């Protein structure tokens, strides 16, 4: 059997998705591949032509590819393995490597490669190896994210073959930026979650008792209805008055301070979205009419708002949620969390996409300080802003005006653009008038939007009323759901496992003090950790509500202690300290949950 057919059989048996792409897809590049000197290939792609590998020194080529990657890396994304000459260097150098992701954008080139390499032999390793073949930049980003999104504690890095970057310009840059943006947003949110953990937990403990329709019952029901996401940027002054005219033609979603702005101007949106756990969110709701608009919220919302809100309520859950996500799943038996972001407006965009809206319109999303202002009229005027500070960036808005923005607002825009990129088939319209451009969204004055995109009466109120009525939960049923939730029992079960782990660790500590042999101590420590992990893995409460809440702290502990030390003794001491400190964090959080329950019952 030829190498090529052997490789095809291997793909079919071990990587069926890759095999189907290989067999069925058309190549995304019209490239020409020519053998050269028995051990190299000449690749032509359009006007670009070069050798796939160095004709002078493969060792130097490999060294340069991986020169910036630390030896303790756990995941490497390689843009272009070519003929796999760097394979031995990778596995001999990176002993902690757990996942190797290889991106091959050119199907024609990869087919030629399969005539020349032994793929089963080259992939024989305990390291997980994933192949991304013949995918667009966006598809490659999504594939990488699907591999890594649930394992964000990986220490990862990127390597690239220089010939690939020359042959396929812009591809690596786009994929690299897309993946790093995803991780940046994820860790911004995790850091926020860590800093707000106590507050969000307290709010969830108070808010979860309120009866509300799960927003999951609304998903997919708005395919024929456009969405207008209304933010409180200064440009909202220019066109918010039109919202009264289009209330039957689109679902209007007010976010953040726009809730108060619209209310002060006599405009009632269909949905108000609120997630902020701080007192500033309470001030948004002070004095507004609440009986004629549905509040979509997460249980992290500032406590006290729900009990005073007279209108309909719909509960959603965050993708980075902890206790709130656990509670949602236990109460409703389903979970489709919304994507978190820099702003509630980012959350609203993800929700609009999940609702099924095929046309999404931004209003008041300035992403800058139009005329030096922070908000539209209807919000308490802010202090004068000193734009000379380093945090502010001078740029140009859609009207050609010079405005200032900030890294936070640019982060919001970047996330908008990635969400748009990852969700094609939807018309995105930026009707903000004087805000920043949003890639993927068409700039269009709202008067034009009304004439071209919002002409038909969609009977939006009727649709929402029907969904609320169909999915309303009877109070007696709701009471039963709360009783079945039983957070106290879930907390106690997790605490018992943790207490057992601590007891075993203290015993091991005494053995260490008596001079027990290091190899035995290491085996015992590994057994203790393995047992605890298996026990915790069986608890949904721990996995969702505890581990997620403490993710950043666990990561910091691993970075500080895991496998650190100049010798076996120091390494054991550090690994032991990691296990003990992790148990202490778990204990502290579980105690906080218990204390909070006790306070609320008083």
Predicted local distance difference test score (pLDDT) of residue 144: 85
pLDDT in tens, 471-487: 999 999 999 999 999 99
Those residues whose C-beta lies under 8 Å from the C-beta of residue 368, and which sit 6 or more positions away, are: 233, 395, 397, 403, 404, 405, 409, 435, 436
CB 65 within 8 A of CB 94: no
Instruction: Please report the pLDDT score of residue 339 as a whole number.
Output: 85
Beta bridge partners of 430: 362, 443
Is 412 within 8 Å of 185 (Cβ atoms)?
A: no
Contact 76, 158 (CB under 8 A): yes
pLDDT at position 357, please?
Answer: 97
pLDDT of 3 > 60? The answer is yes
Residue 539 is predicted with a pLDDT of: 95
Can you tell me the mean pLDDT for 1-6? 85
Structure tokens at 38: 């028995």
Q: What is the pLDDT of residue 588?
A: 94
184-190 average pLDDT score: 69
Cα first-last separation, the chain? 76
Nearby residues of 462 by Cβ (< 8 Å), 6 or more positions away: none
Strands 251-255 and 271-274: parallel
Residue 382: is its pLDDT beyond 80?
no
Work out the burial of residue 111: count CB atoms within 10 Å of its CB; fewer than 13 is exposed, 13-18 middle, 19 or more buried: middle
pLDDT category, 72, cuts 50, 70, 90?
confident
Give 527-539 pLDDT, tens digit per residue.
999 999 999 999 9
Confidence band, pLDDT 50/70/90 cuts, at residue 82: very high
When the pLDDT of each residue in the chain is averaged and rounded to a whole number, the result is 90
Q: How much is the pLDDT for 460? A: 96
* Length of the chain in terms of residues written: 602
Token pair recorded at residue 373: 């202002």
pLDDT for res 558: 85
Average pLDDT of the segment spanning 58-77: 91
pLDDT at 188 over 70: no
Q: What is the sign, positive or negative, of the torsion defined by CA atoms of 160, 162, 167, 169? A: positive
- Check residue 415 and give its pLDDT: 86
Cα–Cα distances (Å) from 71 to 61, 66, 101, 315, 448, in that order, read 18, 10, 17, 45, 57
Query: Torsions phi, psi of 481, nearest 5?
Result: -60, -45
Burial of 43 (0-12, 13-18, 19+ CB in 10 A): buried
Residue pair 71/78 in contact (Cβ under 8 Å)? The answer is no
pLDDT above 80 (res 182):
no
Cα Rg, the chain, nearest whole Å? 28
Per-residue pLDDT, 552:
81
Other Cβ atoms less than 10 A from the Cβ of 435: the count is 29
Give the pLDDT band (50/70/90) at residue 257: very high
Long-range contacts of residues 83-87, Cβ cutoff 8 Å, at least 24 apart? 83/39, 83/40, 83/41, 83/52, 83/53, 83/113, 83/116, 83/117, 84/113, 84/117, 84/122, 85/53, 85/58, 85/61, 86/61, 86/62, 87/122
**Can you tell me the distance from the alpha carbon of 199 to that of 303, in angstroms, rounded to the nearest whole number?**
10
Confidence of residue 548 (pLDDT cuts 50, 70, 90): confident
| 381 pLDDT higher than 60 | no
State the pLDDT at residue 87. 92
Q: Give CA–CA dist 123/119, Å, rounded.
A: 6
What is the spatial distance between Cα 322 and Cα 550, in angstroms, rounded to a whole number?
Answer: 9
- Which stretches of 31-149 are DSSP H helices? 58-65, 87-93, 107-114, 119-122, 137-148
* pLDDT single digits (tens) 237-249: 999 999 999 999 9
Q: How many CB atoms lie within 10 A of CB 555?
A: 15
Looking at 230-244, 254-268, 422-436, 548-562, which range is the least confident one? 548-562
For residue range 276-305, list pLDDT tens digits in order.
988 889 999 998 999 989 999 999 999 999
> 3-class DSSP state for residue 529?
helix
CA distance 353 to 63: 44
Distance CA 364, CA 356 (A): 22
* Residue with tokens 């908000």, as numbered in its chain: 375
Tens digit of each residue's pLDDT (9 = 90 or more) over 145-162: 777 755 555 688 999 999
In this structure, how many other beta carbons lie within 10 angstroms of the beta carbon of residue 492? 12
Q: What is the pLDDT of residue 91?
A: 92
| Three-state secondary structure call for residue 99 | strand
Of the candidates 99, 97, 306, which has an alpha carbon nearest to the alpha carbon of residue 207? 306
């Amino acid at each position: 059997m030829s190498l090529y057919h052997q490789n095809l059989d291997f793909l079919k048996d071990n990587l069926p998705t890759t095999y189907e792409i290989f067999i069925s897809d058309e190549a995304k590049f019209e490239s020409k591949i020519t053998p050269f000197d028995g051990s190299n290939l000449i690749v032509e792609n359009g006007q670009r032509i070069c050798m796939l590998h160095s004709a002078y020194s493969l060792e130097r080529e490999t060294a340069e590819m991986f020169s910036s990657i630390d030896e303790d890396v756990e995941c490497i994304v390689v843009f272009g393995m070519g003929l796999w000459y760097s394979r031995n260097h990778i596995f001999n150098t990176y002993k902690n490597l757990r996942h190797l992701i290889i991106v091959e954008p050119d199907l024609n080139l990869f087919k030629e490669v399969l005539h020349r390499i032994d793929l089963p032999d080259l992939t024989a390793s305990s390291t997980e190896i994933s192949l991304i073949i013949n995918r667009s930049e966006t598809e490659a980003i999504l594939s990488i994210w699907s591999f890594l999104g649930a394992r964000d504690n990986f220490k990862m890095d990127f390597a690239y073959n220089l010939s690939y970057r020359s042959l396929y310009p812009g591809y690596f840059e786009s994929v690299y930026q897309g993946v790093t943006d995803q991780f940046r947003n994820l860790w911004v949110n995790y850091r926020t979650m860590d800093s707000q953990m106590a507050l969000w937990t307290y709010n969830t403990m108070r808010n979860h008792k309120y009866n509300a329709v799960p927003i999951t019952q609304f998903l997919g029901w708005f395919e024929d209805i456009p969405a207008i996401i209304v933010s409180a940027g200064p440009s909202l002054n220019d066109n918010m008055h039109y919202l009264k005219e289009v209330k039957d033609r689109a679902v209007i979603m007010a976010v953040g301070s726009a809730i108060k702005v619209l209310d002060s101007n006599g405009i009632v949106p269909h949905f108000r979205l609120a997630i902020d756990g701080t007192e500033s969110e309470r001030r948004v709701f002070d004095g507004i009419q609440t009986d004629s608009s549905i509040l979509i919220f997460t249980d992290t919302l500032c406590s006290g708002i729900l009990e005073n809100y007279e209108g309909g309520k719909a509960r959603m859950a965050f993708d980075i949620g902890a206790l709130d996500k656990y509670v949602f799943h236990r109460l409703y038996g389903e979970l489709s969390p919304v994507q978190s972001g820099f702003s509630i407006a980012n959350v609203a965009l993800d929700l609009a996409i999940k609702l099924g809206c095929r046309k999404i319109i931004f209003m008041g999303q300035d992403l800058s300080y139009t005329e030096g202002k922070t908000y539209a009229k209807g919000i308490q005027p802010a202090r004068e802003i000193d734009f000379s500070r380093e945090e502010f960036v001078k740029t140009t808005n859609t009207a050609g005006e010079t405005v200032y923005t900030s890294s936070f607002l640019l982060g919001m825009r970047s996330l908008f653009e990635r969400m748009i990129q990852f969700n094609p088939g939807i018309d995105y319209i930026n009707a903000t008038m004087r805000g920043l451009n949003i890639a993927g969204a068409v700039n269009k004055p709202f008067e034009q939007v009304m004439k071209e995109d919002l002409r038909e009466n969609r009977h939006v109120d009727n649709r929402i009323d029907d969904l609320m009525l169909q999915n309303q939960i009877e109070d007696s049923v709701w009471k039963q759901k709360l009783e079945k939730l039983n957070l106290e029992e879930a907390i106690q079960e997790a605490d018992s496992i943790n207490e057992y782990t601590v007891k075993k660790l203290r015993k091991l500590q005494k053995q260490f003090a008596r001079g027990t042999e290091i190899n035995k101590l290491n085996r015992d420590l590994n057994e203790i950790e393995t047992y605890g992990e298996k026990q915790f893995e069986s608890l949904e409460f721990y996995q969702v509500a505890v581990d997620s809440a403490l993710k950043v702290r666990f990561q910091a502990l691993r970075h500080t202690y895991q496998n650190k030390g100049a010798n076996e003794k120091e390494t054991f001491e550090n690994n032991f300290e990691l296990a003990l400190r992790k148990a202490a964090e778990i204990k502290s959080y579980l105690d906080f949950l218990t204390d909070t329950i006790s306070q609320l019952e008083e």
